[in-house]
Amino acid sequence: MDRRNGSSSRRPRRGPATRATTAAAGVASCVLTAALVTGCGDSQPGASAQTFQTGGPGTSTTMLPGETATASPGGTGTPTGTGSPTGTASPTGTASPTGTASPGAGALTASNAPFTLPTAVTEATAVADDDKLLVLGGKDTNGKATNQVTSIDPAAGTATSAGTLSKPVANASAAVVNGTPTVFGGNTVGSGGTGVTDVVQTFSNGTSQEVGKLPAPRENHGTATANGKTYVVGGDNGSKIQSDVLATSDGKTFQNVGKLETPVRNAAVATTGSGSEQKVTVFGGESDNGTTDAIQQFDPATGKTTTVGKLPEQLKGASAFTLNGTTYLAGGQANGAASSKIYKFDPSDNSVTDAGDLPDGVQNAAAAATNDKAYLAGGEINGKVSNAVTQLMPK
Protein backbone atom coordinates (compact mmCIF):
# COMPACT_ATOMS: atom_id res chain seq x y z
CA MET A 1 0.00 0.00 0.00
CA ASP A 2 2.46 2.51 0.38
CA ARG A 3 -1.04 3.49 0.63
CA ARG A 4 -2.52 4.26 3.88
CA ASN A 5 -6.01 5.22 3.49
CA GLY A 6 -7.81 7.30 6.06
CA SER A 7 -11.44 6.85 6.85
CA SER A 8 -14.20 8.51 8.78
CA SER A 9 -15.86 7.20 11.93
CA ARG A 10 -18.72 4.76 11.96
CA ARG A 11 -21.31 7.41 12.63
CA PRO A 12 -22.01 7.24 9.83
CA ARG A 13 -19.52 4.51 8.96
CA ARG A 14 -17.50 5.46 5.94
CA GLY A 15 -14.69 4.12 3.91
CA PRO A 16 -11.12 5.35 3.95
CA ALA A 17 -10.45 8.70 2.58
CA THR A 18 -7.23 8.76 0.89
CA ARG A 19 -5.10 11.32 -0.60
CA ALA A 20 -3.46 14.86 -1.41
CA THR A 21 -3.58 17.83 -3.80
CA THR A 22 -1.20 20.63 -4.53
CA ALA A 23 -1.10 24.32 -4.96
CA ALA A 24 -0.03 26.01 -8.11
CA ALA A 25 2.91 28.19 -8.84
CA GLY A 26 3.19 30.84 -11.50
CA VAL A 27 6.11 31.85 -13.71
CA ALA A 28 6.24 35.30 -12.23
CA SER A 29 5.14 34.49 -8.72
CA CYS A 30 3.89 31.59 -6.71
CA VAL A 31 0.98 31.59 -4.36
CA LEU A 32 -0.81 28.76 -2.61
CA THR A 33 -4.19 28.08 -1.05
CA ALA A 34 -5.58 25.33 1.08
CA ALA A 35 -5.72 21.84 -0.36
CA LEU A 36 -4.43 18.40 0.50
CA VAL A 37 -4.36 14.61 0.07
CA THR A 38 -3.86 10.91 1.65
CA GLY A 39 -1.89 7.33 0.93
CA CYS A 40 -0.44 3.65 0.55
CA GLY A 41 2.63 1.53 1.18
CA ASP A 42 4.90 0.25 -1.53
CA SER A 43 6.11 -3.26 -1.92
CA GLN A 44 7.28 -2.64 -5.44
CA PRO A 45 10.63 -1.05 -6.12
CA GLY A 46 10.20 2.62 -5.47
CA ALA A 47 6.46 2.61 -4.92
CA SER A 48 3.81 4.67 -3.25
CA ALA A 49 2.17 7.85 -2.12
CA GLN A 50 -0.72 9.00 0.12
CA THR A 51 -2.88 12.16 0.57
CA PHE A 52 -3.32 15.34 2.73
CA GLN A 53 -4.37 18.96 2.75
CA THR A 54 -3.08 22.14 4.24
CA GLY A 55 -4.21 25.70 4.17
CA GLY A 56 -2.60 29.09 4.41
CA PRO A 57 -4.26 32.45 4.51
CA GLY A 58 -2.46 33.82 1.45
CA THR A 59 -3.79 34.41 -2.04
CA SER A 60 -4.11 31.22 -4.06
CA THR A 61 -3.25 30.24 -7.59
CA THR A 62 -4.33 26.89 -8.99
CA MET A 63 -1.67 25.11 -10.98
CA LEU A 64 -2.94 23.60 -14.16
CA PRO A 65 -1.58 20.35 -15.57
CA GLY A 66 1.69 20.93 -17.36
CA GLU A 67 2.66 24.05 -15.38
CA THR A 68 5.85 24.04 -13.39
CA ALA A 69 6.01 24.80 -9.68
CA THR A 70 8.61 27.54 -9.90
CA ALA A 71 8.61 31.29 -9.74
CA SER A 72 11.16 33.73 -11.00
CA PRO A 73 13.53 34.91 -8.28
CA GLY A 74 12.81 38.45 -9.27
CA GLY A 75 9.05 38.12 -8.98
CA THR A 76 7.38 41.00 -7.22
CA GLY A 77 4.04 41.26 -5.53
CA THR A 78 1.97 43.07 -3.01
CA PRO A 79 2.88 43.14 0.69
CA THR A 80 0.43 40.31 1.28
CA GLY A 81 2.78 37.74 0.00
CA THR A 82 4.56 36.77 -3.21
CA GLY A 83 7.70 34.66 -2.91
CA SER A 84 10.84 36.46 -1.91
CA PRO A 85 13.99 36.30 -4.07
CA THR A 86 15.53 33.99 -1.49
CA GLY A 87 12.74 31.46 -1.87
CA THR A 88 11.17 31.83 1.58
CA ALA A 89 7.48 32.29 2.21
CA SER A 90 6.13 35.44 3.77
CA PRO A 91 4.31 35.27 7.13
CA THR A 92 0.96 35.37 5.35
CA GLY A 93 1.39 31.80 4.13
CA THR A 94 1.73 32.26 0.38
CA ALA A 95 3.85 29.97 -1.73
CA SER A 96 7.56 30.36 -2.20
CA PRO A 97 9.24 29.89 -5.59
CA THR A 98 9.71 26.23 -4.68
CA GLY A 99 5.96 25.68 -4.28
CA THR A 100 5.76 25.51 -0.48
CA ALA A 101 3.97 27.77 1.96
CA SER A 102 4.02 28.50 5.65
CA PRO A 103 1.25 26.77 7.65
CA GLY A 104 -1.91 28.83 7.82
CA ALA A 105 -5.63 28.22 8.36
CA GLY A 106 -6.34 24.53 8.74
CA ALA A 107 -2.85 23.69 10.02
CA LEU A 108 -2.39 20.65 12.24
CA THR A 109 -0.31 19.97 15.33
CA ALA A 110 1.46 16.59 15.15
CA SER A 111 3.11 14.78 18.06
CA ASN A 112 4.09 11.30 19.14
CA ALA A 113 1.19 9.54 20.87
CA PRO A 114 1.78 8.37 24.47
CA PHE A 115 1.45 4.77 23.26
CA THR A 116 2.90 2.62 20.46
CA LEU A 117 1.73 -0.34 18.39
CA PRO A 118 2.29 -3.78 19.98
CA THR A 119 4.69 -4.60 17.13
CA ALA A 120 6.40 -2.60 14.40
CA VAL A 121 4.60 -2.70 11.05
CA THR A 122 4.67 -0.92 7.69
CA GLU A 123 2.42 -0.94 4.63
CA ALA A 124 -0.65 -1.67 6.77
CA THR A 125 -4.08 -0.13 6.17
CA ALA A 126 -6.49 1.47 8.64
CA VAL A 127 -10.13 2.43 9.12
CA ALA A 128 -12.16 4.17 11.80
CA ASP A 129 -14.25 1.80 13.94
CA ASP A 130 -16.73 3.87 15.95
CA ASP A 131 -14.55 5.92 18.33
CA LYS A 132 -11.54 3.66 17.74
CA LEU A 133 -9.29 2.83 14.81
CA LEU A 134 -8.26 -0.51 13.38
CA VAL A 135 -4.81 -1.09 11.87
CA LEU A 136 -5.05 -4.14 9.61
CA GLY A 137 -2.26 -6.35 8.22
CA GLY A 138 0.98 -4.89 6.94
CA LYS A 139 4.57 -6.04 6.78
CA ASP A 140 6.70 -6.85 9.85
CA THR A 141 10.39 -6.15 10.51
CA ASN A 142 11.33 -9.29 8.58
CA GLY A 143 9.45 -8.16 5.48
CA LYS A 144 6.70 -10.76 5.92
CA ALA A 145 2.99 -10.04 5.60
CA THR A 146 1.11 -10.15 8.90
CA ASN A 147 -2.50 -10.96 9.76
CA GLN A 148 -2.48 -8.89 12.96
CA VAL A 149 -5.25 -6.38 13.68
CA THR A 150 -4.57 -3.65 16.25
CA SER A 151 -7.23 -1.48 17.89
CA ILE A 152 -6.24 2.10 18.76
CA ASP A 153 -8.42 3.55 21.51
CA PRO A 154 -7.76 7.31 21.76
CA ALA A 155 -9.89 7.71 24.89
CA ALA A 156 -7.99 5.02 26.78
CA GLY A 157 -4.66 5.92 25.20
CA THR A 158 -3.95 2.33 24.16
CA ALA A 159 -3.10 0.23 21.11
CA THR A 160 -3.91 -3.43 21.69
CA SER A 161 -4.40 -6.61 19.67
CA ALA A 162 -7.96 -6.94 18.36
CA GLY A 163 -7.64 -10.26 16.51
CA THR A 164 -6.37 -11.51 13.17
CA LEU A 165 -7.32 -11.41 9.51
CA SER A 166 -8.24 -14.59 7.66
CA LYS A 167 -5.19 -14.06 5.42
CA PRO A 168 -2.03 -12.08 6.15
CA VAL A 169 -1.74 -9.15 3.74
CA ALA A 170 0.53 -6.16 3.17
CA ASN A 171 -0.08 -3.36 0.66
CA ALA A 172 -3.85 -3.88 0.87
CA SER A 173 -6.48 -1.16 1.18
CA ALA A 174 -9.50 -0.96 3.47
CA ALA A 175 -12.85 0.76 3.83
CA VAL A 176 -15.97 0.45 5.95
CA VAL A 177 -18.58 -1.18 3.70
CA ASN A 178 -22.14 -1.33 5.03
CA GLY A 179 -20.81 -0.85 8.55
CA THR A 180 -18.12 -3.54 8.35
CA PRO A 181 -14.34 -2.99 8.02
CA THR A 182 -13.37 -4.58 4.70
CA VAL A 183 -9.87 -5.30 3.34
CA PHE A 184 -9.26 -5.49 -0.41
CA GLY A 185 -6.46 -7.52 -2.01
CA GLY A 186 -2.85 -7.01 -0.97
CA ASN A 187 0.15 -9.30 -0.88
CA THR A 188 0.02 -12.45 1.26
CA VAL A 189 3.81 -12.85 1.25
CA GLY A 190 4.82 -9.25 1.81
CA SER A 191 6.28 -8.44 -1.57
CA GLY A 192 6.78 -10.08 -4.95
CA GLY A 193 4.35 -10.99 -7.69
CA THR A 194 3.58 -14.49 -6.41
CA GLY A 195 1.90 -13.17 -3.27
CA VAL A 196 -0.57 -10.71 -4.83
CA THR A 197 -4.15 -11.71 -3.97
CA ASP A 198 -7.69 -10.92 -5.09
CA VAL A 199 -9.29 -11.89 -1.77
CA VAL A 200 -11.69 -9.52 0.00
CA GLN A 201 -11.84 -9.97 3.80
CA THR A 202 -14.10 -8.50 6.45
CA PHE A 203 -13.23 -8.00 10.12
CA SER A 204 -15.82 -7.74 12.87
CA ASN A 205 -15.86 -8.50 16.60
CA GLY A 206 -12.38 -9.99 16.51
CA THR A 207 -12.99 -12.38 13.63
CA SER A 208 -12.36 -12.27 9.90
CA GLN A 209 -13.83 -14.03 6.91
CA GLU A 210 -13.33 -14.05 3.16
CA VAL A 211 -16.44 -12.65 1.48
CA GLY A 212 -15.49 -12.12 -2.13
CA LYS A 213 -12.83 -11.53 -4.75
CA LEU A 214 -11.62 -8.63 -6.82
CA PRO A 215 -11.83 -9.15 -10.59
CA ALA A 216 -8.05 -9.75 -10.51
CA PRO A 217 -5.23 -9.76 -7.92
CA ARG A 218 -4.19 -6.26 -6.85
CA GLU A 219 -1.85 -4.57 -4.36
CA ASN A 220 -0.48 -1.06 -3.71
CA HIS A 221 -3.90 0.42 -4.48
CA GLY A 222 -6.16 2.80 -2.59
CA THR A 223 -9.85 2.96 -1.73
CA ALA A 224 -12.33 5.75 -1.13
CA THR A 225 -16.08 5.78 -0.50
CA ALA A 226 -18.26 8.34 -2.29
CA ASN A 227 -22.05 8.53 -2.35
CA GLY A 228 -22.56 5.05 -0.94
CA LYS A 229 -20.09 3.19 -3.15
CA THR A 230 -16.50 2.17 -2.46
CA TYR A 231 -13.95 2.65 -5.23
CA VAL A 232 -10.71 0.65 -5.63
CA VAL A 233 -8.16 2.75 -7.48
CA GLY A 234 -4.73 2.14 -9.03
CA GLY A 235 -2.20 -0.38 -7.74
CA ASP A 236 -0.57 -3.23 -9.58
CA ASN A 237 -0.91 -6.96 -10.12
CA GLY A 238 2.64 -7.74 -9.05
CA SER A 239 4.19 -6.40 -12.23
CA LYS A 240 1.91 -4.13 -14.26
CA ILE A 241 0.46 -0.89 -12.89
CA GLN A 242 -3.34 -0.90 -13.11
CA SER A 243 -5.53 1.88 -14.51
CA ASP A 244 -8.98 0.42 -13.79
CA VAL A 245 -11.30 2.03 -11.25
CA LEU A 246 -13.54 -0.58 -9.60
CA ALA A 247 -16.77 0.12 -7.72
CA THR A 248 -18.62 -1.99 -5.13
CA SER A 249 -21.58 -1.44 -2.85
CA ASP A 250 -21.27 -4.70 -0.91
CA GLY A 251 -17.57 -5.71 -1.03
CA LYS A 252 -18.50 -8.85 -2.94
CA THR A 253 -19.32 -7.75 -6.48
CA PHE A 254 -17.40 -5.19 -8.52
CA GLN A 255 -17.93 -3.15 -11.66
CA ASN A 256 -15.26 -1.53 -13.80
CA VAL A 257 -16.46 2.08 -13.86
CA GLY A 258 -13.53 4.03 -15.31
CA LYS A 259 -9.79 4.42 -15.77
CA LEU A 260 -7.12 6.68 -14.35
CA GLU A 261 -5.69 9.21 -16.76
CA THR A 262 -2.21 8.14 -15.59
CA PRO A 263 -2.04 4.65 -14.03
CA VAL A 264 -0.30 4.78 -10.63
CA ARG A 265 0.45 2.58 -7.65
CA ASN A 266 1.26 3.59 -4.07
CA ALA A 267 -0.74 6.80 -4.41
CA ALA A 268 -2.73 8.45 -1.66
CA VAL A 269 -6.46 8.20 -2.32
CA ALA A 270 -9.26 10.10 -0.61
CA THR A 271 -12.85 11.20 -1.04
CA THR A 272 -13.03 14.97 -1.54
CA GLY A 273 -15.92 17.36 -1.94
CA SER A 274 -19.38 16.95 -0.44
CA GLY A 275 -22.82 15.71 -1.35
CA SER A 276 -23.36 14.89 -4.99
CA GLU A 277 -20.09 16.67 -5.80
CA GLN A 278 -17.93 14.02 -4.12
CA LYS A 279 -14.91 12.91 -6.13
CA VAL A 280 -12.24 10.24 -5.69
CA THR A 281 -8.95 12.13 -5.61
CA VAL A 282 -5.62 10.42 -6.26
CA PHE A 283 -2.46 12.14 -5.03
CA GLY A 284 0.91 11.36 -6.55
CA GLY A 285 2.05 7.75 -6.65
CA GLU A 286 4.34 5.91 -9.00
CA SER A 287 3.65 5.69 -12.73
CA ASP A 288 5.59 3.87 -15.43
CA ASN A 289 7.72 7.02 -15.67
CA GLY A 290 8.53 7.17 -11.95
CA THR A 291 7.14 9.06 -8.96
CA THR A 292 4.65 11.75 -9.92
CA ASP A 293 3.29 14.99 -8.46
CA ALA A 294 0.01 14.77 -10.38
CA ILE A 295 -3.37 15.10 -8.66
CA GLN A 296 -6.00 13.08 -10.50
CA GLN A 297 -9.73 13.15 -9.87
CA PHE A 298 -12.27 10.48 -10.75
CA ASP A 299 -15.86 11.70 -11.01
CA PRO A 300 -18.33 8.89 -10.20
CA ALA A 301 -21.11 10.86 -11.93
CA THR A 302 -19.37 10.85 -15.31
CA GLY A 303 -16.91 7.95 -15.03
CA LYS A 304 -14.14 10.29 -16.19
CA THR A 305 -10.74 11.00 -14.65
CA THR A 306 -8.90 14.29 -15.13
CA THR A 307 -5.63 15.73 -13.86
CA VAL A 308 -6.62 18.76 -11.80
CA GLY A 309 -3.35 19.96 -10.29
CA LYS A 310 0.07 19.15 -8.89
CA LEU A 311 1.55 18.46 -5.48
CA PRO A 312 4.42 20.67 -4.28
CA GLU A 313 6.73 17.71 -4.93
CA GLN A 314 6.76 14.25 -6.46
CA LEU A 315 5.40 11.96 -3.74
CA LYS A 316 4.61 8.30 -3.12
CA GLY A 317 3.78 6.23 -0.05
CA ALA A 318 1.98 9.13 1.64
CA SER A 319 -1.02 8.78 3.97
CA ALA A 320 -4.35 10.50 3.42
CA PHE A 321 -7.14 11.14 5.89
CA THR A 322 -10.11 13.44 6.39
CA LEU A 323 -10.36 15.33 9.68
CA ASN A 324 -13.31 17.60 10.53
CA GLY A 325 -14.31 17.62 6.87
CA THR A 326 -10.87 18.55 5.55
CA THR A 327 -8.61 16.18 3.62
CA TYR A 328 -4.94 16.00 4.55
CA LEU A 329 -1.89 14.24 3.18
CA ALA A 330 1.02 13.35 5.49
CA GLY A 331 4.46 11.87 5.06
CA GLY A 332 5.40 9.71 2.09
CA GLN A 333 8.63 9.52 0.13
CA ALA A 334 9.94 12.60 -1.69
CA ASN A 335 13.34 12.93 -3.34
CA GLY A 336 14.31 9.48 -2.08
CA ALA A 337 13.69 10.22 1.61
CA ALA A 338 10.78 9.97 4.05
CA SER A 339 8.90 13.26 4.23
CA SER A 340 7.71 15.01 7.40
CA LYS A 341 5.34 17.39 5.57
CA ILE A 342 1.60 17.68 6.14
CA TYR A 343 -0.50 19.13 3.32
CA LYS A 344 -4.10 20.33 3.20
CA PHE A 345 -6.30 19.93 0.13
CA ASP A 346 -8.99 22.39 -0.91
CA PRO A 347 -11.58 20.82 -3.27
CA SER A 348 -12.97 24.23 -4.24
CA ASP A 349 -9.93 24.94 -6.43
CA ASN A 350 -7.98 21.67 -6.11
CA SER A 351 -5.10 23.43 -4.39
CA VAL A 352 -2.67 22.10 -1.79
CA THR A 353 -1.13 24.11 1.02
CA ASP A 354 1.30 23.54 3.87
CA ALA A 355 -0.44 22.35 7.06
CA GLY A 356 2.55 21.65 9.29
CA ASP A 357 5.19 19.02 10.01
CA LEU A 358 5.35 15.54 11.54
CA PRO A 359 7.77 14.80 14.39
CA ASP A 360 9.71 12.55 11.97
CA GLY A 361 9.71 11.79 8.29
CA VAL A 362 7.61 8.66 7.69
CA GLN A 363 6.47 6.71 4.65
CA ASN A 364 3.97 3.88 4.17
CA ALA A 365 2.13 4.56 7.43
CA ALA A 366 -1.51 3.56 7.95
CA ALA A 367 -3.84 6.51 8.55
CA ALA A 368 -7.36 7.13 9.80
CA ALA A 369 -9.28 9.73 11.79
CA THR A 370 -11.96 9.62 14.46
CA ASN A 371 -13.65 12.46 16.30
CA ASP A 372 -11.22 15.40 16.34
CA LYS A 373 -7.92 13.55 15.88
CA ALA A 374 -6.15 11.62 13.13
CA TYR A 375 -3.49 8.99 13.61
CA LEU A 376 -0.57 7.65 11.59
CA ALA A 377 0.43 4.13 12.61
CA GLY A 378 3.72 2.40 11.88
CA GLY A 379 5.45 2.93 8.55
CA GLU A 380 9.15 3.46 8.00
CA ILE A 381 11.10 6.07 9.96
CA ASN A 382 14.83 6.54 9.33
CA GLY A 383 14.78 3.46 7.10
CA LYS A 384 13.41 1.16 9.81
CA VAL A 385 9.96 -0.38 10.29
CA SER A 386 8.34 1.48 13.18
CA ASN A 387 5.81 0.89 15.93
CA ALA A 388 5.30 4.63 16.45
CA VAL A 389 1.88 6.26 16.47
CA THR A 390 1.59 9.94 15.56
CA GLN A 391 -1.48 11.93 16.59
CA LEU A 392 -2.62 14.98 14.61
CA MET A 393 -5.16 17.62 15.65
CA PRO A 394 -6.18 21.11 14.59
CA LYS A 395 -4.07 23.94 16.00
- With beta carbons less than 8 A apart as the criterion, state whether 353 and 343 touch: yes
pLDDT in tens, the chain (395 residues): 444 454 443 433 334 333 333 333 333 333 323 333 333 444 443 333 333 333 333 333 333 333 433 333 333 333 344 343 344 333 334 333 334 445 767 999 999 999 999 999 999 999 999 899 999 999 999 999 999 999 999 999 999 999 999 999 999 999 999 999 999 999 999 988 899 999 999 999 999 999 999 999 999 999 999 999 999 999 999 999 999 999 999 999 999 999 999 999 999 999 999 888 999 999 999 999 999 999 999 999 999 999 999 999 999 999 999 999 999 999 999 999 999 999 999 999 999 999 999 999 999 999 999 999 999 999 999 999 999 999 999 99
**Which residues, other chains included, contact 385 with Cβ-Cβ below 8 Å and sequence gap of 6+?**
120, 121, 122, 139, 140, 141, 378, 379
Check if the beta carbon of residue 339 is closer than 8 Å to that of residue 346.
no
The CA distance from 328 to 19, in Å, is 7
Say how far apart CA 1 and CA 142 lie, in whole Å: 17
Q: What is the pLDDT of residue 105?
A: 78
Dist. CA 332–CA 338, nearest whole Å:
6
Domain that holds residue 364: 2-394
Count of domains forming the chain: 1
Between CA 325 and CA 67 the distance in angstroms is 29
- Looking at residue 174, which CATH number applies to its domain? 2.120.10.80
